[in-house]
Amino acid sequence: MADPSQIQEKLKAAMMNIVGLVLTEARNNLPSGVSPIMRENILRTQFKHDKGSSINFGFTHADADVLEKGQSPIPFSGTYTQRVPQHTRKTKRGNVSVRKHTRKYKNHRPMNINNRWFMATQTPDRKPTKWLETIAERMFEDETLLAKQIKLELER
């Protein structure tokens, strides 16, 4: 029979393997509607740590927390300066060239969502997705996956 400390290490290794599978699944299944910048911010901050009696894992970027737990709207305050590059504008008389300039907005800012511009007075709210929690629960409750990982570690 194997030493209890060896068995404990093998069980911990099996759990770390499952954590790796959870993080891979989470990376591949980010919720829809996540911008490419937000996606990159989340994915580059992946971590898993063995803390002795526990294993911590997840993503450390604030965007991951917002995606997981949601966020209530935050009102804009102060002034926002928009740098407008040189462009052409269509008018009744034809196209007119507009020089680059700046615009200042107080307590609101322009936003372009789905190619439609509007003036926002606060950040949009985000509903919680519990995306990481759902994947972790599903994988840790899968008895066949747990048994398979434990068996793999015990055979090593």
Same domain, 47 and 14: yes
Same domain, 46 and 113: no
Same domain, 102 and 28: no
Range of 34's domain?
4-71+126-155
Same domain, 110 and 142: no
DSSP code for 156: -
Same domain, 47 and 30: yes
- Give whole-number Cα distances, 101 to 17, 85, 87, 90, 139, in Å: 55, 7, 10, 18, 54
> Within its chain, how far is the Cα of 86 from the centroid?
34
Q: What is the DSSP string of 67-115?
A: HHH-B---B--SEEEEEEPPEEEEETTEEEEE--EEEEEES-EEEEETT
Same domain, 21 and 47: yes
The whole-number average pLDDT for the span 38-44 is 91
Same domain, 115 and 143: no
Same domain, 59 and 130: yes
CB 47 within 8 A of CB 57: yes
Same domain, 116 and 41: no
Q: Is residue 2 scored above 70 in pLDDT? A: no
Looking at residue 31, its amino acid is P
Same domain, 95 and 30: no
- Residue 9: band (very low, low, confident or very high) from pLDDT cuts 50, 70, 90: confident
Same domain, 140 and 64: yes
CB 73 within 8 A of CB 122: yes
Number of domains comprising the chain:
2
Same domain, 8 and 67: yes
For residue range 115-141, list pLDDT tens digits in order.
898 999 998 888 999 999 999 999 989
pTM, rounded to two decimals: 0.70
Q: Is residue 52 scored above 90 in pLDDT? A: no
Non-local (6+) Cβ contacts of 11 within 8 A are 150, 153
- Residue 94: band (very low, low, confident or very high) from pLDDT cuts 50, 70, 90: very high
